[in-house]
Amino acid sequence: MKKYLITGYSGFVSHHFLNYLESLQQPCNILGVDINEAAFDLGSYKYVQGSFKNVNLLNREEVDVLIHDYKPDYILHLASYSSVASSWKNPVTSFVNNTNIFLNLVEQVRLLGLACRILSVGSSEEYGKVDVSTLPLHEELPTNPVSPYAVARVSQEMLSQIYAKSYGLDIVLTRSFNHIGPGQKEMFAISSFAKKMIGIKHSSSGEKTMTVGDIEIVRDFVDVRDVVKAYYLLLQKGEKGEIYNICSGKGITLKEVLQTMKNILQIEVNIQIDKELIRPADNPVIIGSNKKIKDKIGWQPSISLETSLKDLLNYWDNNQ
């Protein structure tokens, strides 16, 4: 039975990955680790079995014991401080909780000489501020990080390349674009919009105003359920040392996202822009090309933006 070590177990993506594994109806063993308590248990799964361990990945000794004892076949490294906005407030925390935790993991795999495939999750933020003429963003473009979070991701990517190409570790890399879907924390823009919209829908005071930052920026959104399928396929079929964009290939403004949500809920909303919420050095347009992962791995997104937003709104409706 294949063994998966999943870091960032209590996060949004992990839960969807477990659901995907379960849907395959093949027995597998997982060890979930997180610095927080387990956000869900495995009791409801039939094929996915395993356990949870509370681990601080910044503590190298804890990581050493973890890898040594479990000897995973796969590491799905989801642990991350993945908010760009938070990284501006706490750049050191963002950096060490992305780059250093990754380094601790791969170093122990190297030292033990484990035959273990690792998925190094990167971000579309690595492309940074780009010329519109280079869109859609493809994997050969140079990186140009313009936030502390993006710097951490590029650093992780460079380390991945060294570990894959020079030390021979079996690492496959992604540049994952903005995820959306049920269960996402409200620290991310779209989920925060959805929560606010649901608040307005149920407002007893008739409040119709929501405050947002820059909604003219264009992003490429991909449903988390499509993302985890890509992660699974890359663990099976990805090429060592290669980077794969995971994206829809379509750009949409946050303004259009808000409009779609209003249409779904059939409510009136008064959108107010707060310039204080506009981040320094934000990237105006991010749209990716998913040609490589389509051609080489056979993955493509299957869930429409409207479905993603409906499910996200439903999630907040059920979790107010």
Positions touching a copy of itself (CB under 8 A) are 60, 88, 91-92, 95-96, 99-100, 103-104, 107, 142, 145-148, 151, 154-155, 158-159, 162, 165-166, 280-281
Q: Which is nearer to a copy of itself, 142 or 298 (CB)?
A: 142
Q: Which is nearer to a copy of itself, 169 or 287 (CB)?
A: 169
Q: Which is nearer to a copy of itself, 91 or 249 (CB)?
A: 91
- CA dist 116 → 30, 112, 190, 258, 280 (Å): 14, 10, 35, 42, 39
Q: Which is nearer to a copy of itself, 147 or 184 (CB)?
A: 147
Tokens, residue 132: 């519109």
Supply the minimum distance, in Å, between the C-beta of residue 217 and a copy of itself: 17
Tokens, residue 271: 């959108």
Q: Which is nearer to a copy of itself, 101 or 313 (CB)?
A: 101
Supply the minimum distance, in Å, between the C-beta of residue 86 and a copy of itself: 14
Residue at token pair 């989920």 = 191
Supply the minimum distance, in Å, between the C-beta of residue 272 and a copy of itself: 26
Supply the minimum distance, in Å, between the C-beta of residue 131 and a copy of itself: 15
Alpha helix ranges (H) inside 7-83 = 12-23, 60-70
Over the Cα atoms of the chain, what is R_g? 19
Supply the minimum distance, in Å, between the C-beta of residue 152 and a copy of itself: 8
Supply the minimum distance, in Å, between the C-beta of residue 89 and a copy of itself: 11
- CA dist 302 → 92, 182, 219, 245, 269 (Å): 37, 16, 18, 16, 29
CA–CA dist 158, 153 (Å, integer): 9
Who's near 259: CB < 8 A, 6+ residues apart?
none
Q: What is the DSSP string of 120-133?
A: EEEEGGGG-S--GG
Tokens, residue 292: 């490589």
Q: Which is nearer to a copy of itself, 242 or 311 (CB)?
A: 242
